[in-house]
Chains A and B, each alone.
Chain A
């Protein structure tokens, strides 16, 4: 028997290889260096991310597929690569001091972060459902472990266990959906081949619909959409804050990248069907997330419900299923990465040693004691609420314009009404910071340089892409050309 290995170019998966190699290098350096010396790991992680970012930028503009059509080499993937690299890099900066305070500055932490990023990249660029599934698993397993990093803490254990059990369950749904799809399409799982196969097999429509429903369950879990959101508040609250930040931005962005790619490419035939289902999910997700967030007094839980609500807005972008919808999804995820990481950075700084100050009332009077910190928190809250001139406003503007353009007027109206509701709990933090006296003296906040730098970068980013969204818009517009079906 002769085996002809298909031609491939390692360059097209360069960023994955770089990150994997650096993750292994981190593990090896840690194993070979003297005990207690852990300064190398975060530095190596940042260098690896920088190299991967550089490779991604030099790949920009390429189109095609590689590795026997297993992976898309296109701008849509590259855009998300950059979002993931940015999210992971900022997470590394946020983690350093926070983990040291807990005595948990493990090299494995950084290695797992990099591996999770590789998983996300697989999800964004997989062109076969098996690749997307492998990406989800690589990312999820790393994140399950990261959520349970604080083994002494019962809540961290709870977070890891809940996420693992429910995540495994969701993966089973996803796999079952893929199996149905394999049957319905007559034996292919290539996203490019699916539409033609499915269009030609009208008798298999029930099976395809079942597959789509199961896929929605699987993806819905990963993006934390109602009714698959139950794990979110507990996991976000229990996991280490830096990991929560990583989950909120990275995992969500990756899941939405795969969600959008699969639904835009593979199921244009069934568009009316899945749009109807997602319409209900989006409305439920936005409404429940925003209303329950009002009742939260723990800042991490509040941000968890806010993250559910944002998943709802992002679903609107998928439902719109037009070019502007895809563009808004990409822009929104970038903006969300910046503003959410910034907000979690403030949570880490205010929480101080071992997360002692996580109640929203601990923010009372922050504006008088630490004006700059309070100002940046206010900025992130305005951005999350979607108030101009921040990136959050532009993102929501694009999302709802896309919905209107696609004829979903009511969906846009419900979305805007939800944004108004969300202003209440975001502004409450600001009101507490500036208009309430401090309940107790907050004392000195130790401004770790890395965290301060993260705050500065994210604050700058939120303002910059909010005031000048044109550059990102053009990049995203350039990327969504890969979806021929979108108008």
Chain B
């Protein structure tokens, strides 16, 4: 089990890095798919089967198609030129800060003594237990999410539909 976790985590990290470092957005998007699958695998290990399935269907499926659509609509044929407006100082400062923050977080998390893991209760991550939570304890947040989606739809229409003069 542990072995599988480390392999998946490694794949997720490397593909995540490749997403950022690719010049061409299309390649970034493709590496992102790899990343999504690796993360879905980690969810499976944590007994979150439903989340894993959703991760593959929604993220690796629907959202990626949307990404690719946008990239193709924008018609980016060749790699963007290097960003010229970034000063060297900004670049060095940004990278240093990011690395420092990352190390700080990793160090902090390693300071935590985790208790030994327990066996997951049966049916932890299946649709039944999730649905039960969604419609009882988390009923209100679940309903509020619909307002959130409505706001997003209205907003998209406002920004996209009104005629330019």
Contacts and interface: CB of A to CB of B under 8 A. Distances in A.
Given A145-B159, A207-B108, A115 B144 contact: no
Contacts of B139: 5-6, 8, 67-68, 70
A185 interface: no
A68 B140 contact: yes
B158 A108 contact: yes
Interface in B100-149: 105, 108-109, 111-113, 128, 132, 135-141, 144-145, 147-148
B150 interface: yes
Contacts of A8: 139-140
B138 to A, nearest CB: 7
B155 interface: yes
Contacts of A416: none
Contacts of A149: 158
B158 A210 contact: no
B155 A3 contact: no
Nearest to A116: B151
A119 B15 CA distance: 36
Interface in A107-126: 108-109, 111-112, 115, 118-119, 122
A20 B154 CA distance: 13
Interface residue range, chain A: 35 or more
B153 to A, nearest CB: 10
A207 B109 contact: yes
Of B108, B109, B113, B164, which is in contact with the most chain A CB atoms at under 10 Å from its CB? B108
Interface in A123-139: 128, 130-131, 134-135, 137-138
B147 A20 contact: yes
A106 interface: yes
Given A3-B132, A151-B159, A152-B165, A71 B154 contact: no
A134 to B, nearest CB: 5
Contacts of B135: 3, 5
B103 to A, nearest CB: 13
A151 B161 CA distance: 11
Interface string B53-64: 000000000000
B154 A27 contact: yes
Interface string A360-379: 00000000000000000000
Contact of A68 (B136, B150, B157, B164): B136
B152 interface: yes
A71 B141 CA distance: 10
Contact of B154 (A108, A130, A160): A108
Contacts of A111: 154
Nearest to B110: A206
Contacts of A1: 128, 132
Nearest to A138: B148
Given A67-B139, A134-B141, A106 B150 contact: no
A27 B156 CA distance: 14
Interface in A82-115: 103-104, 106, 108-109, 111-112, 115
A63 B90 CA distance: 51
B125 to A, nearest CB: 14
Interface of B: 105, 108-109, 111-113, 128, 132, 135-141, 144-145, 147-148, 150-152, 154-159, 162, 164-165
Given A5-B135, A131-B141, A141-B148, 15 more contacts: A3-B136, A68-B139, A68-B140, A70-B137, A70-B138, A115-B147, A115-B151, A128-B141, A131-B140, A135-B144, A138-B144, A138-B147, A203-B113, A206-B108, A207-B112
15 contacts: A3-B132, A5-B136, A68-B136, A70-B138, A106-B158, A106-B162, A108-B154, A108-B157, A115-B150, A115-B154, A128-B141, A134-B144, A145-B158, A184-B112, A210-B109
